[in-house]
Amino acid sequence: MTFALTNSGMSDRALAIADRVETFVRDVVVPFEKDPRRTPHGPLEELSVELKDLARRHGVLTPHILDDDTHLSHRETACVLIRSGLSPLGPLACHVAAPDEGNMYLLGKVGSPELKKQFLEPMVRGDMRSAFFMTEPAADGGAGSDPSMMMTTCQPDGNHWVINGRKTYITGADGAGLGIVMAKSGDGACMFMVDLPDPAIRIERVMDTLDSSMPGGHAVVTIDNLRVPATQMLGESGEGFRYAQVRLSPARLTHCMRWLGACIRAHEIASDYANRRMAFGKPLVDHEGVGFMLADNLIDLKQAELMVYWCADVLDTGVLGTVESSMAKVAVSEALMRVADRCVQVMGGQGVTADTIVEQVFREIRAFRIYDGPTEVHKWSLAKKIKRDWKKANEA
């Protein structure tokens, strides 16, 4: 790796797992980047299963969850997931991609022993994918960046709950074996574990989107009188938003980890190109306009890495880290956008082709600036905190 990742203060177990993951991604996964089973709506299920089988054989499937079912710390997870992201297919192969990684984390924290046995265990084994049903169509006036606008309803009916509504941008719904569905009861937001497919959840369409790394793509779905056993409610009625906060900050940060790995790889490819490609009598890298872009990449990559580890350390204290994860998400996504853009620019015409993963990384990072909260929403939230803190300080 031409970019020197920070290993100081990292546990030996995390470094050992990270090394195995990096070797697996570079040696085994990277050749699949040209596989025709990659489509605009994400890798086909056949490719996903094959990659996970290979990861299982190499001992790197779900590497952040140990054999005794304990979870690596957030800092250790960062060390591992950055390496998984060195290929857009790496997180999928290692079973640490969104939304599965976040759903496993949430179930591990909030799920009852029965729900963990029914849903978490097969997920950790890589036997099924999952989806998280929260966002709703803007045309319906539903929840997006403001989850309090949720329109999907759930009503108790004997020993079941009945759910009705529409959802959108549901990553991986097509082909998932498990859904976590958010809906609103008289008590407030609720979460339900749902076996998929279910005829009451109809995929209206899988949207054509900028990104293409997630199996099943992003779907619009209708939920029509979905009956869910009361035993499959996650936690208590009305506590859904609180549970979402448990998932939210770590999931934001693992996005940062995976895409940091992707941008490190893109920088490697662009650097190699700039050192090999001759123009005007010398390698591109010797032209300041190119060399300085690569130097700026190093700076942004290191700042992004340090931001990830800082936020991970905050989460490892046991706090929710909502503010810190917002700061990290903004800083990392914006820095990585600059890195990906420079990589395309350095490579010129070659950078906009699919001959390398650079153009895909550029597309994925552009989408990442919106996923898990757009930059502007996080800044707005941080500005509100500044105002609250100012009021508190001036009331004293």
Instruction: State yes or no: pLDDT of 8 exceeds 90.
Output: no
User: What radius of gyration, in Å, describes the C-alpha atoms of the chain?
Assistant: 21
Instruction: State yes or no: pLDDT of 2 exceeds 80.
Output: no
| 79 and 91 together in one domain | yes
- Residue 323 φ then ψ, to 5°: -65, -45
Could you tell me if residue 105 is inside a domain? no
| 232 and 252 together in one domain | no
| 225 and 319 together in one domain | no
pLDDT tens-place string over residues 291-322: 999 999 999 999 999 999 999 999 999 999 99
Could you tell me if residue 3 is inside a domain? no
Q: DSSP label at 118?
A: I
Q: DSSP label at 281?
A: T
| 259 and 371 together in one domain | yes
| 59 and 178 together in one domain | no
pLDDT tens-place string over residues 343-384: 999 999 999 999 999 999 999 999 999 999 999 999 999 999
| 80 and 23 together in one domain | yes
- Residue 141 φ then ψ, to 5°: 75, 25
Tokens (6 digits) for 184: 């609103």
Q: Which segments within 321-383 are labelled E, that is strand?
A: none
Residue 324 near residue 314 (C-beta atoms within 8 A) = yes
User: What integer pLDDT is reported at residue 7 of this predicted model?
Assistant: 85
| 264 and 248 together in one domain | yes
pLDDT tens-place string over residues 44-58: 999 999 999 999 999
User: What integer pLDDT is reported at residue 304 of this predicted model?
Assistant: 98
Name the residue among 286, 274, 275 with its Cα closest to residue 345. Answer: 274
Q: What is the DSSP string of 8-43?
A: TT--HHHHHHHHHHHHHIIIIIGGGGG-TTEETTEE
Could you tell me if residue 113 is inside a domain? no
Q: What is the DSSP string of 294-315?
A: HHHHHHHHHHHHHHHHHHHHHH
Q: Show which of 237, 259, 289 is a domain's final residue.
A: 237
User: What integer pLDDT is reported at residue 375 of this predicted model?
Assistant: 97
Say how far apart CA 228 and CA 249 lie, in whole Å. 28
| 17 and 71 together in one domain | yes
Could you tell me if residue 51 is inside a domain? yes
- Can you tell me whether residue 220 is helix, strand or coil? strand
- Please name the amino acid found at residue 391: K
Could you tell me if residue 396 is inside a domain? no
CATH value at residue 232: 2.40.110.10
Q: Which residue has the higher pLDDT, 132 or 8?
A: 132
Name the residue among 232, 238, 175, 231 with its Cα closest to residue 201. Answer: 175
| 228 and 359 together in one domain | no
Q: Which segments within 37-159 are labelled E, that is strand?
A: 38-39, 42-43, 130-133, 153-157
- Kindly tell me the burial class for residue 323, based on how many C-beta atoms sit within 10 Å of its own C-beta (0-12, 13-18, 19 or more): middle
CATH value at residue 350: 1.20.140.10
Q: Total domain count for the chain?
A: 3
| 78 and 141 together in one domain | no
Q: Show which of 216, 237, 258 is a domain's final residue.
A: 237
pTM listed for this prediction:
0.96
When the pLDDT of each residue in the chain is averaged and rounded to a whole number, the result is 96
Instruction: State yes or no: pLDDT of 244 exceeds 90.
Output: yes
Question: CB neighbours (10 Å) of residue 186?
Answer: 10
Q: DSSP label at 65?
A: B
Tokens (6 digits) for 211: 């990104």
Could you tell me if residue 118 is inside a domain? no
Q: Does 40 sit behind a cis peptide bond, omega within 30 degrees of 0 on the bond before it?
A: no
Structural domain that includes position 188: 130-237
Q: Show which of 214, 237, 260 is a domain's final residue.
A: 237
Interval 262-279 mean pLDDT: 98
Q: Does 197 sit behind a cis peptide bond, omega within 30 degrees of 0 on the bond before it?
A: yes
Could you tell me if residue 266 is inside a domain? yes
| 343 and 209 together in one domain | no
User: What integer pLDDT is reported at residue 310 of this predicted model?
Assistant: 98
User: What integer pLDDT is reported at residue 145 of this predicted model?
Assistant: 87
Q: CA–CA distance from 25 to each of 22, 91, 176, 254 (Å)? A: 5, 9, 24, 17
- Please name the amino acid found at residue 110: V
With b for 16 or more beta-carbon neighbours within 10 A and e for fewer, the 82-114 pattern comes to bbbbbbbbbbbbbbbbbbbbbbbbbbbebbeee
User: What integer pLDDT is reported at residue 192 of this predicted model?
Assistant: 98
Say how far apart CA 238 and CA 242 lie, in whole Å. 9
Could you tell me if residue 339 is inside a domain? yes
Question: CB neighbours (10 Å) of residue 231?
Answer: 12
Torsion of CA 253, 374, 242, 96, to 10 degrees: -30
| 275 and 322 together in one domain | yes
pLDDT tens-place string over residues 172-230: 999 999 999 999 999 999 999 999 999 999 999 999 999 999 999 999 999 999 999 99
